[in-house]
Amino acid sequence: MNIILFGPPGAGKGTQADKIVNEFDFHKVSTGDLLREQISNNTEIGIKIKEIIDKGQFVSDEIIDNLIKKILSNKKYFNRLVFDGYPRNLNQAKTLEYLVKKNNQKITCVLSLNVERDLIVKRVLGRQSCNKCGQIFNEYFRPSSKENHQCGDSFLVKRPDDNEETILKRFETYQDKTLPILNFYKNLNLLHEVNGKVEIDQIFKEIREIIASLET
């Protein structure tokens, strides 16, 4: 089985992908990682990718498709992939379907983490990390207190680039771009909506049940 994971930025998609990898012995495919790997290995394609990124341009579907093609033809990962942050558009989704079939594999399920806008904003805006001990808190959901944190509040910092406007923009971009892809998988009867509003472990519980019910 191969899995695709969708979720808006701030929904904790990466965390869930890592959990799937650890518990079910999958290999995670993130196009960001694939691109970085090519760049750091200084491959022919990596040099091209670096030029494109340095110019501030987007890496073409063609380049991405080629990297995905390589992964899918690797016997080591046969039917053991979890895609994180890919496909990003309908063309990539269609190419993926084609490549998967060509390699005698299949996409078994597509998981979509559902989280509302307001919750994402609070999760991202409320996030605080402690400069002293490295613990992560959230001023709305899990505030630092005398009981759970000895350092006190003075070491807590927020990420400077997170403001409400950027978060909302990222969220809307995600929705616009992802809805057609989700519909594509819905028509293939592969889409499973997952409640992303609950705690990390509870989200994973639901994901685990879906995967277990599909594993044969």
CB-wise, 47 or 133, nearer to Zn ion?
Answer: 133
Number of residues that bind Zn ion (CB under 5 A): 4
CB-wise, 101 or 132, nearer to Zn ion?
Answer: 132
Residues whose CB falls within 8 Å of the CB of residue 121, separated by 6 or more in sequence, listed in order:
164, 167, 168, 171
Q: Smallest distance, Å, CB 167 to Zn ion?
A: 25
Output the CA–CA distances (angstroms, integers) from residue 20 to 29, 66, 128, 175, 193, in the order listed. 12, 25, 26, 24, 16
Residues 92-151 that bind Zn ion (CB under 5 A): 130, 132-133, 151
Residues 149-178 that bind Zn ion (CB under 5 A): 151
CB-wise, 100 or 151, nearer to Zn ion?
Answer: 151
| Helix (H) or strand (E) run with residue 16 in it | helix 13-24
| Helix (H) or strand (E) run with residue 82 in it | strand 81-84
CB-wise, 125 or 130, nearer to Zn ion?
Answer: 130
Nearest residue to 63 via CA among 45, 78, 81: 45
Q: Smallest distance, Å, CB 124 to Zn ion?
A: 20
Which residues of this protein are in contact with Zn ion, per CB under 5 A? Answer: 130, 132-133, 151
